[in-house]
Amino acid sequence: MSSLIQFVKKPFTSETTDAMVGSIVCYAGGILLLIIGVLKLVEMELNLTQLIFGLLLVCILVFQIILAGLMLEVYRAVKKQG
């Protein structure tokens, strides 16, 4: 049983690799979310105020996801330096 616990606790990848993959996922997810969000908002029958508010909310969410990717890039750079 203890060998199973040791196997589960063993990391499969390095932290820098995890940060790189995470940042790529955040960037791709942000772009995908922007495209899907704008397409879904355009399909709906909204007045101008609702459309602008919806676009603003989609942009804020995409911005947060891209910032998470940037934070992972900074983390990876710091780990590489020391």
Residue 3 has what pLDDT?
A: 82
- What would the pLDDT profile of 1-19 be if each residue is shown by its tens digit? 678 888 778 888 888 888 9
Long-range CB pairs of 32-41, under 8 A, 24+ apart, other chains included: 33/58, 33/61, 33/62, 33/65, 34/58, 34/59, 34/62, 37/61, 37/62
Q: How many CB atoms lie within 10 A of CB 76?
A: 19
Query: CB within 8 A of 65, min separation 6: which ones?
Result: 26, 29, 30, 33
Domain segments of the chain as ranges:
30-82
**How much is the pTM?**
0.79
Tokens of residue 76, six digits: 């990876």
| DSSP code at position 45 | -
